[in-house]
Structure 1
C-alpha cells in the first residue's frame, strides 16, 4: 500500500492545534496545584475552595510538559480569546488540506465526553475511532476505506487508576449517551451496563478495561460506568498520547500509542479469527499492516520497542502475533528487518 504524507503545512497546523488545545485545558486551573504520589508516580490536582468546602480536580500525571503549562495558567487564561480564534483558523486549514473529519454523531459524543472529563480522568479512545486519528499523529493520509467504521466507538481505562484518582466525571457518560439517543444494553448475567446502542442506527458505544485472567465486568468509579474486562488491553492503553478529532475547532482526546495499537491489532485479530467477528479480524490485520508499514519507515525504534515488549510477555502473546503475521508476510518481513 502506498503511503502518502500530508503536506508540511498540514502537519505543522495539526501540531499547533494540538498544542493550543493542551494550553486550553491547562488554562482552566482554578486554585493551587496539589501533588499526590501513588505507585511511584506523581499525580497533579487543582485544589480550590467552594464555600466552606475544599475540592480537588484531577489534572493529570505530573509530567514536565503538564507542569510547564500549569505554571503559565494565568497567562494562558488571559490569551483565551486569541487562542480560540487561532484554533478555529487551524481547523479550517486542516480541512482544506484534506484531513478527514469526524462525523457529526461521533464528534458531538467525543466533545460531550471531553467536557465531562472522560479523557482527563484516564479514558482512552480505542478501536477504529482511535485509528482514524493517527492521520494527525503520523502525518499521513488515510482513505475512506481504511477509516470505514465498524459501528463501535470504544473507550478503555485502567480500573486501578479509576479507583485511585479520587475524582469523578462532571456528567455521567450514561446520561450523555441517553441524551444522544443511545439506549443501555444490560449484561446478560448481572445486568451491569457497559455498552449502549444507538436507537436510530447501528452504532455501539462500549467501555472496556484490562483483565488479567477472567474477563469480567468491573466498575470504573472515576468515569461513572462499568466496563468489560479484556485480556491484552493493558498493553494497548499504557502510556496513551493526546490527539485531536477534527470536529468544530477540534476535540482533545486520548488514544493509544500507534506502535502499541499496531502490535495489539495482531493479537486481537487472532482472537477473532474463528468467531463471529471474522470480518473485524480482517480489518484488524489491515490496520496493523498499514501502521507497521508507516512505523517501520518513520519510527522504527518505537515499533521495535513495542514488539519486544509484547513478545516478552509470554508464549501466548507470541503465538497470537505470529498467527496473524503468518497471514501478513509483508508485515512479518518488515518486523524481522527491525532486529
Structure 2
C-alpha cells in the first residue's frame, strides 16, 4: 500500500490551526473555575452569574493543556482578532496543500453542533466523517473517492458521562437538524428518534452510545437526544482527541484516537458480514487497513497498546478481530509483528 505524506508546511499549518481553535474555545471563559471530582477524575466547570442565579458550564476534564489555556483566558481574549485572521490564513493554506475539505452540508452541521456545545459536552464524531479528519492528525493524504462514498454523519457519547455532567447543550441538536432540513426517522418498536435523514439528499445523522449487552435506545441528557446503544463502542470513544474539520476557517470537533478507530473497524466489519451492510464491511476493512499501515510505521506503540487492549477484552472480541484479519493478510502481518 502506497502512503503519501502531506508536506511539512501542511502538517505544521494543521497543528497550528488546531492549537488556535483550542485557544479560541478557552478564550470564552467569563467566570471562575470550579473543580468537581467523579470516579477518581477531576472535571472543570465555569461558574458565573446570570441575573440572580449562579450557573455552571462544563469545560472539560482537568488536563494540563486545558488548565494552562484557561489560566491565559484574558490574554487569549485580547488576541482574538489576530487569532481569527491567522485561522483563516491557515485554513486557506491547508486547502492549497490538498487537504480534503468538508462539504457545505456537513460543515454547516458540524459548526452548528460545535457552537451548541455538542463536542464540549462529550459528543464524539465517529464513522467516515471522523476517518477523513485523520489526514491532519496523521499528516497523510487520503483517497477522496473513498471518503465521498457515504453521506452518514455519526455522533457518539457515553450515557453515564452525559448524565453526570449536569450541563446541557445551548441549542438542541434536534432543532438544529430540523433547520437543516433533516427529518426524524422513528424507531420501529418504541418510536424513539436517534437518527435523522435529510430530505434533499441521502445524508443520515445518527446518535450512538456504548452498550454493555443490551443494544437498546438510551437518552443522552447533556446532548438532548436519544441514542442507539451498540456493543464495542466504548472501546472506540474512550479518551478521544480534538481535530479540525476544514470548513470556513475550521471547526473544532472531537474524534476517536486513530489506533482505536482502526481496531474497532476490524470488529464492526465482522459484525456486518452476511447482513445488509456487507458493503459497509468492505469499507470498514479498507479504513482499518489504511490506518494500520500508517500507524504501524509512525506510531507503533499506540497501535500495539490498542490492539492488545482489544484482544484482552474476551474471546468474542478476539474472534471478531481474527475473522476480519483472515481477509486482510497484509494487515494481519503488520499487527502480528507488533506483539
**Number of residue pairs the alignment of both structures matches:** 339
> Is the alpha carbon distance of 1:212 and 1:139 closer, same or farther for their aligned partners in structure 2, counting shifts above 3 Å?
same
Gaps of 5+ in 2: none
Within-5 A mapping of 1:235-250 = 235-250=235-250
Q: Which residue of 1 aligns with 2:140?
A: 140
Q: Which residue of 2 aligns with 1:266?
A: 266
**Equivalents in 1 of 2:329, 2:151: separation in Å?**
29
Q: Which residue of 2 aligns with 1:114?
A: 114
**Equivalents in 2 of 1:144, 1:123: separation in Å?**
26
Q: Which residue of 2 aligns with 1:316?
A: 316
**Equivalents in 2 of 1:149, 1:242: separation in Å?**
24
1:23 is displaced (CA, Å) by 0.2
Say whether the 8 Å CA contact 1:47–1:54 is kept in structure 2.
yes
**Equivalents in 2 of 1:201, 1:28: separation in Å?**
35
Q: Which residue of 2 aligns with 1:61?
A: 61
**Equivalents in 2 of 1:150, 1:305: separation in Å?**
30
1:29 is displaced (CA, Å) by 0.3
Within-5 A mapping of 1:206-245 = 206-245=206-245
Deviation per residue, 1:267-320 (Å, 9 max, x gap)? 000000110000000000000000000000000000000000000000000000
SS in 2 for 1:145: helix
Q: CA RMSD in A?
A: 0.5
SS in 1 for 2:166: coil
1:189 is displaced (CA, Å) by 1.1
Q: Which residue of 2 aligns with 1:203?
A: 203
Q: Which residue of 2 aligns with 1:151?
A: 151
1:149 is displaced (CA, Å) by 3.5
Say whether the 8 Å CA contact 1:261–1:288 is kept in structure 2.
yes
Q: Which residue of 1 aligns with 2:283?
A: 283
Q: Which moved more, 1:280-289 or 1:146-155?
A: 146-155
Say whether the 8 Å CA contact 1:216–1:229 is kept in structure 2.
yes
**Equivalents in 2 of 1:139, 1:273: separation in Å?**
31
**Equivalents in 1 of 2:203, 2:134: separation in Å?**
21
Q: Which residue of 1 aligns with 2:162?
A: 162
- TM score, norm. by length of structure 2: 0.99
**Equivalents in 2 of 1:68, 1:100: separation in Å?**
31
Gaps of 5+ in 1: none
Within-5 A mapping of 1:161-200 = 161-200=161-200
1:151 is displaced (CA, Å) by 2.1
SS in 2 for 1:141: coil
SS in 2 for 1:166: coil
Q: Which residue of 2 aligns with 1:71?
A: 71
Task: Tell me, yes or no, if structure 1 residue 296 matches structure 2 residue 296.
Answer: yes
